[in-house]
């Protein structure tokens, strides 16, 4: 299990919102929206999850399955099970984002060459950023309760010139983010517009998370400061 942020105090009785992601962008989105999560990072082998899926799996299901694997990995932690057994309200959220460009799902490019190739195809065009979400509520007499969903946001990319694209790629930012762009960093200069939920483009869709919490019998207001 990866780095952690925040502890689970044994003397507290408040609800626990667990973010199963190392993404600082997802953490910022939640904090700015009034939720202070505990961070527990899974070590799921994403390539193995993808390899196990049938080749004709719909794109929205692919990202949802990746999110499910991450959430289940974190939900299995002993400290969370103990908190739920002690009567605490515990929810775990896993997320995964990929860019649907034409008929291809693209994750993090990792290398400069791949990022440049992708931007040569993206610029001046549009693509759909898909973010899968899987939420698990621990505890209860019937065991864990789950809810899952995928948000889709249309991105219109600027027709940026070679020099600007090259400078953006050389910044390193697009190498480590899904779709090789961000909406909350340098990449925002290269986005002409979006159709959909901005927070899901950053990595966690607040409207969808609100609905998923409702499905498991909770309200996002349960996790706001009191």
Catalytic site residues? Answer: 96
Residue-averaged pLDDT of the chain: 93
Q: How many CB atoms lie within 10 A of CB 225?
A: 7
For the chain, the domains span 4-220
Q: Rounded to whole angstroms, how far apart are CA atoms 98 and 178?
A: 5
Q: Which residues of 61-86 are buried (b: 16+ CB within 10 A; e: fewer)?
A: bbbbbbbbbbbbbbbebeebeebbee
- pLDDT reading at 161 higher than 60: yes
pLDDT tens readout for residues 167-215: 999 999 999 999 999 999 999 999 999 999 999 999 999 999 999 999 9
pLDDT tens readout for residues 126-158: 999 999 999 999 987 778 999 999 999 999 999
Q: Write phi, then psi, for 40 (nearest 5 degrees).
A: -135, 120
User: Which of 202, 119, 108 is CA-nearest to residue 159?
Assistant: 119
Q: How many CB atoms lie within 10 A of CB 13?
A: 9
Portion of the chain with pLDDT greater than 70, in percent: 95
pLDDT the model gives residue 43: 85
- pLDDT reading at 2 higher than 60: no
CB neighbour list of residue 110: distance below 8 Å, 6 or more residues apart: 175, 176
Query: 223: pLDDT confidence band, cut at 50, 70 and 90?
Result: very high
Q: How many CB atoms lie within 10 A of CB 179?
A: 27
Cβ 101 vs Cβ 122: under 8 Å: yes
Q: Rounded to whole angstroms, how far apart are CA atoms 175 and 35?
A: 28
3.20.20.370, 3.40.1390.20, 3.90.950.10, 2.40.50.140: which CATH number matches 4-220? 3.90.950.10
Cβ 34 vs Cβ 207: under 8 Å: no
Q: How many CB atoms lie within 10 A of CB 103?
A: 6
């Amino acid at each position: 299990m990866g780095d952690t942020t925040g502890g689970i105090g044994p003397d507290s009785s408040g609800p626990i919102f667990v973010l199963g992601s190392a993404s600082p962008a997802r953490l910022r989105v939640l904090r700015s929206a009034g939720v202070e999560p505990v961070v527990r990072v899974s070590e799921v082998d994403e390539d193995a999850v993808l390899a196990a899926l049938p080749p004709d799996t719909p794109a929205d299901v692919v990202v949802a399955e990746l999110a499910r694997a991450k959430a289940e990995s974190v939900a299995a932690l002993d400290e969370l099970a103990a908190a739920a057994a002690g009567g605490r309200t515990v929810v775990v959220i896993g997320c995964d984002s990929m860019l649907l460009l034409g008929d291809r799902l693209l994750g993090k490019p990792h290398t400069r060459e791949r990022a440049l190739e992708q931007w040569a195809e993206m610029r001046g065009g549009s693509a759909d950023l898909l973010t899968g979400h899987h939420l698990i509520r621990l505890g209860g007499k019937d065991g864990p309760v789950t809810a899952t969903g995928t948000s889709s946001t249309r991105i219109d990319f600027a027709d940026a010139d070679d020099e600007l694209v090259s400078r953006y790629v050389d910044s390193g930012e697009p190498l480590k983010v899904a779709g090789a762009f961000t909406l909350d960093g340098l990449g925002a200069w290269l986005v002409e517009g979006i159709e959909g939920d901005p927070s899901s483009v950053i990595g966690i869709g607040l409207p969808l998370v609100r609905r998923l919490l409702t499905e498991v019998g909770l309200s996002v207001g349960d996790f706001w400061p009191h």
